[in-house]
A and B are shown apart, each in its own frame.
Chain A
Amino acid sequence: MNLLLALLLIFSNPSDKIKIVDPWMRVGAQGQATGLFFKIENNSDKADTLYKVEFEPAGMVQIHETYDAGDDMMGMREVGQIVILAKSTFELKPGAHHVMLMKLKQDIKKGFVGNVTLHFKKAGKILIKAEAKEMMKKQSMEHKH
């Protein structure tokens, strides 16, 4: 019976269908802005949409993308939402899509761990913890090649 209940819980938990991998945020000073990054694995048979992110220490939170504006220029724009296709992974990463944490109410120093709430249209609310770093090591290593 207990096993059955456990199985029911596992299969009814929407967060199993959406898995958040390697969440981290870049350090940022009070009053300034920073970025939040993670991978979204959609293990379900249907597409899902990330449409809202909450992070209490930020005065404003938006989903953004960084884009090449040509002529060696880079730009950034709000995208509102991100659609993650069925059985696929979407990565929010430096230089691409990211969550922009603006008007920080406090310093986000290295090692700080923040509680973030992600809102998906199908999976609902997913709570994650993201640690503050200057840059993922992997990103730094990529510069060597």
Chain B
Amino acid sequence: MKNQLKILFGLLILLSVNFLTGCYEHFPLDQDLTRTQNTFLNQDSVKVQFPKIIKDKITVLAMVYTHCPDICPMTTHNMFLVEEKLTDDLKNKVKFVVISFDPNRDSPAVLKKFAEIRDLSFKSWTLLSGDEQNTKEVMLKFGIKAIPADSSYDENGELSYNVIHTDRISLIDPEGRLKANYKGSTAKIETILEDIKYISEH
């Protein structure tokens, strides 16, 4: 009888552990981003604190540079597609943030133009430009690498350069916890939408 009770008790513990881990297995990450704040200027040159500005929102975030003709516009467009396909009940719960890892060229005004030409709404989108230190700290938080490469000079002697960079979209929950990363330029829109829905329901 004692042995049967022990087996039953063991089974209950196993089931509990399985249930609890199952709850947290939906997302591969659970990184608290709120331990430190970083200062940035938004597209209107207003000083903001990140991640304070995304508090209580589900956030879809990417780090890009506006002189990128291919990957970064694809990533931004994928975020736009996510927004476009959000159900009405989620539209006010989700925020879209773009942070430049090339702040020397991406001033707030440049970021604003980048957004405007793509019809991004500043009601739901915020674009951030920071100094080198704050930019580097946020890149570290998100595991983003950006290496200037392939530079050339135009006929006026002005330097142009490309950046080899991490291609990523990140998903952050309303408590400021990084939950998932996706390949940015080839992200599966439906997967991100499903994950946003999951966060909103749990």
Per-position 1/0 for B64-80, Cβ under 8 A of A: 00111111011001101
Is A77's CB under 8 angstroms from B162's CB? Answer: yes
On chain A, the residues within 8 Å of B145 by CB distance are 71, 73
One of A11-19, A21-29, A46-54, A122-130 contacting the partner: A21-29
Question: Measured between alpha carbons, how far is A73 from B166 in the docked complex, in Å?
Answer: 4
Is B67's CB under 8 angstroms from A32's CB? Answer: yes
On chain B, the residues within 8 Å of A82 by CB distance are none
A: contact size bracket:
35 or more
Is B189's CB under 8 angstroms from A74's CB? Answer: no
The interface size of chain B toward A, counting residues with CB under 8 Å, comes to 42
Is A143's CB under 8 angstroms from B78's CB? Answer: yes
Chain A: minimal CB distance from B96 (Å)? 15
Known: A32-B67, A73-B166, A74-B185. A107 touches B74 (CB 8 A): no
| Nearest CB in chain B to that of A70: its residue | B164
Question: Measured between alpha carbons, how far is A102 from B164 in the docked complex, in Å?
Answer: 17
Question: Measured between alpha carbons, how far is A76 from B74 in the docked complex, in Å?
Answer: 14
Tell me if A78 is interfacial: C-beta within 8 Å of chain B: yes
Q: Which B residues from 156 to 202 make CB contacts under 8 A with A?
A: 156, 158, 160, 162, 164-168, 183, 185-190
On chain A, the residues within 8 Å of B162 by CB distance are 75-77
Tell me if B88 is interfacial: C-beta within 8 Å of chain A: no
Chain A: minimal CB distance from B119 (Å)? 8
Chain B: minimal CB distance from A145 (Å)? 8
Is A143's CB under 8 angstroms from B160's CB? Answer: no
Is A107's CB under 8 angstroms from B189's CB? Answer: no
Known: A103-B160, A134-B118. A76 touches B71 (CB 8 A): yes
Interface majority SS (helix, strand, loop, mixed), chain B:
mixed
Tell me if B81 is interfacial: C-beta within 8 Å of chain A: yes
Question: Measured between alpha carbons, how far is A25 from B80 in the docked complex, in Å?
Answer: 18
Q: Which of B74, B147, B164, B183 contacts A135 (CB 8 A)?
A: B74
Q: Which of B73, B149, B188, B190 contacts A26 (CB 8 A)?
A: B73
Tell me if B117 is interfacial: C-beta within 8 Å of chain A: yes
Known: A27-B117, A30-B113, A140-B81. A74 touches B71 (CB 8 A): yes
Per-position 1/0 for A61-80, Cβ under 8 A of B: 01010100101111111100
Known: A29-B113, A75-B149. A35 touches B70 (CB 8 A): yes
Chain A: minimal CB distance from B148 (Å)? 11
Q: Which of B117, B152, B154, B164 contacts A74 (CB 8 A)?
A: B164
Tell me if A144 is interfacial: C-beta within 8 Å of chain B: yes
Q: Which of B71, B166, B189 contacts A66 (CB 8 A)?
A: B71
On chain A, the residues within 8 Å of B158 by CB distance are 103
Question: Measured between alpha carbons, how far is A143 from B29 in the docked complex, in Å?
Answer: 23
| Nearest CB in chain A to that of B106: its residue | A32
One of A1-9, A83-91, A93-101 contacting the partner: A93-101
Residues on A lying within 8 angstroms of B by beta carbon are 26-35, 59-60, 62, 64, 66, 69, 71-78, 94-95, 98, 100-103, 107-110, 134-135, 139-140, 143-144
5 contacts between A and B (CB under 8 A): A33-B68, A74-B165, A76-B162, A98-B70, A143-B189
Give the top 6 A-B pairs by smallest Cβ distance, nearest first: A75-B164, A29-B113, A35-B69, A74-B167, A33-B69, A29-B117
